[in-house]
Amino acid sequence: MKETVGRGRWASKAGFVLAAAGSAVGLGNLWKFPYMAGENGGAVFVLVYLLILVLIGMTVMLAELTVGRHTQLDALGAYKKLSAKWAWVGGMGVLCAFLIMAFYTVVGGWAIKYFIGSFASAAANIDFVGFITAPVEPIIYTLIFCLLTWVIVFYGIGGGIEKASKIMMPLLFIFIIIIAIRSCTLPGAGAGLDYYLNPDLSKINGGVILAAMGQVFFSLSLGMGCMITYGSYLDRNSSLTQSAWMIPALDTGVAFLAGLAIFPAVFAFGMQPDAGPGLMFGILPQVFAQMPAGTFFAAIFFLLVIFAALTSAISLLEVVTAYFVDEKAIKRSGASIIGILGIFILAVPCSLSMGSLAGVHIIPEIAAMNIPAMGFFDAFDFLTSKVMLPLGGLLLCIFVGWVWGTDNAINEITDGGFSSFSLAGIWSVLVKFVAPIAIFLVFLSGFGVI
Ligand code: PHE
């Protein structure tokens, strides 16, 4: 996205929505949402997710886009411009981007392995656990994923990627629908639908709510300045309010369909829904095996997964690169190299933590706070999704609500009263009170304090 970071503009409104949706829709929807739901009670997780999406997710999305469009700067610069004391919150976002990329590129690598694997024989024949616990092979795939991401950012071909996503994203949508139909019509699928859609409210607890909140932030690319950066490329006659509900709606649609593709099959094949990060990789190849031209479907599907993962990964590397360019005055080429190198160095222990480093815990168990012992992969995931992103969102709400002020924000949203924002009053209350307090309470209950 060289042309946009040179303080460009989105060529069209669709270009922005596509890029922002490209950042949002990724492994978070296809890989993470289903396994998080599976680990947290199924339908009850989906229900809590939707509640948090509407109350907090959309509120924060609008706040981030607004700060971005107003300041026309990257995350750190935006905070700095409005209040120098707050620049560190933008800095935390950059750190977040590093940590997310460290495990994101590992999973991106797994997707490449499955794509290639579906040509070689059938993806269903890949021994998932054997593969991810191996010392060398997954790291090679991680490296390939890193290089792909870097090439796109380095050569500034984000624009081309955006154009390609006009074809790839709808194709992904259609594919998941086809897979979901196959999955839902397998014998024994009903139990999966029940698990996924019929909430058992007795399963709600602090851990489930924190997991759902973290997933909302992760999936919408919120809480770390990504949407501030994207908003900064918008010009004045773009509708912020429309984007703030359209991107979440699209994102949630894809995540919901991914669950619909996975859970019925999980139950039909007598597998466990709480299998964790291997869920998508373990289940979908089995579904493809039940389809005519399954190998062909599998190959195209994993290609689309890689594509979705790349459009998210470039937005993450972009945050890191823009930081080095804007704040450290490093040339874009050098900045993107430093960024991806740092990310790859962190990704290696993440990948190894699946196998040879499995016993090395960088976060020790803190039973009183519901924190299990974690290796690199899980620790980075935990620190970003369950701590840093929601914290970034909480701080952003306080910042917009109380420091910059909702009057200024609403002025930006309505172009100085020129366009209408009928929910302005409700949004103010959400930003100033409801969202920050809710995030705070979820932290307290998730960490066992209340
Ligand atoms: N939203 C992306 C996904 O769901 C991940 C992401 C998180 C991207 C944070 C940018 C910022 O895959």
Q: How far is CA 282 from CA 33, 127, 287, 315, 423, in A?
A: 15, 9, 10, 28, 44
Distance 218 CA to ligand 1 centre (A): 5
Residue located nearest, by CA, to atom 6 of ligand 1: 221
Structure confidence at residue 19 (pLDDT): 82
Structure confidence at residue 80 (pLDDT): 94
> Which residue type does 183 have?
S
Q: Which of 441, 24, 437, 93 is nearest to 249 (CA)?
A: 24
CA-312 nearest atom, ligand 1: 8
Distance 73 CA to ligand 1 centre (A): 20
Pocket test for ligand 1, best of 312, 318, 387, 396 (most atoms within 8 A of CB): 312
Q: How far is CA 105 from CA 61, 141, 151, 324, in A?
A: 25, 9, 14, 20
Going by pLDDT thresholds of 50, 70 and 90, the confidence category of residue 66 is very high
Structure confidence at residue 14 (pLDDT): 67
Q: Which of 61, 149, 104, 139 is nearest to 384 (CA)?
A: 104
Name the one residue in this structure whose structure tokens are 């970071």: 5
User: Is the model's pLDDT at 2 over the cut of 80?
Assistant: no
Phi, psi of 269 (to 5 degrees): -90, 5
User: Is the model's pLDDT at 73 over the cut of 90?
Assistant: no
What distance, in Å, lies between the first and last C-alpha atoms of the chain?
Answer: 44
**Mean pLDDT, to the nearest integer, of 103-113?**
98
Distance 27 CA to ligand 1 centre (A): 8
- Over the stretch 259-291, which tens digit does the pLDDT of each residue have? 999 999 999 999 999 999 999 999 999 888 888
Structure confidence at residue 230 (pLDDT): 85
Structure confidence at residue 234 (pLDDT): 81
Residue 395 per-residue DSSP state:
H
pTM of the predicted protein model: 0.95
Structure confidence at residue 264 (pLDDT): 97
Q: Give residue 154's Cα distance to chain centre.
A: 22
User: Is the model's pLDDT at 1 over the cut of 90?
Assistant: no
Task: Establish whether residue 311 lines the binding site of ligand 1, counting it when its CB lies within 6 angstroms of any ligand atom.
Answer: no
As a whole-number percent, the residues of the chain with pLDDT over 90 amount to 77
User: Is the model's pLDDT at 322 over the cut of 90?
Assistant: no
Enumerate residues 6+ apart whose C-beta is below 8 A from 115: 299, 302, 303, 305, 306
The whole-chain average pLDDT of the chain stands at 92
CA-308 nearest atom, ligand 1: 12
Measured between alpha carbons, how far is 173 from 170 in angstroms, rounded to an integer? 5
Q: Give me the DSSP letters along 240-268.
A: HHHHHHHHHHHHHHHHHHHHHHHHHHHHH
Cβ atoms within 10 Å of 166's Cβ, excluding its own: 12
CB 320 within 8 A of CB 97: yes
Burial of 193 (0-12, 13-18, 19+ CB in 10 A): middle
H-helix or E-strand containing 31? none
Task: Establish whether residue 226 lines the binding site of ligand 1, counting it when its CB lies within 6 angstroms of any ligand atom.
Answer: yes
Going by pLDDT thresholds of 50, 70 and 90, the confidence category of residue 157 is low
Measured between alpha carbons, how far is 312 from 292 in angstroms, rounded to an integer? 31
As a whole-number percent, the residues of the chain with pLDDT over 70 amount to 95
- Residue with more model confidence, 449 or 166: 449
Residue located nearest, by CA, to atom 9 of ligand 1: 221
Task: Establish whether residue 317 lines the binding site of ligand 1, counting it when its CB lies within 6 angstroms of any ligand atom.
Answer: no
Task: Establish whether residue 315 lines the binding site of ligand 1, counting it when its CB lies within 6 angstroms of any ligand atom.
Answer: yes
Going by pLDDT thresholds of 50, 70 and 90, the confidence category of residue 228 is very high
- Over the stretch 382-416, which tens digit does the pLDDT of each residue have? 999 999 999 999 999 999 999 999 999 999 999 99
Distance 129 CA to ligand 1 centre (A): 25
Residue located nearest, by CA, to atom 7 of ligand 1: 221
CB 369 within 8 A of CB 448: yes
CA-309 nearest atom, ligand 1: 12
- Residue with more model confidence, 152 or 390: 390
Structure confidence at residue 362 (pLDDT): 96
Tokens of 284: 């979908």
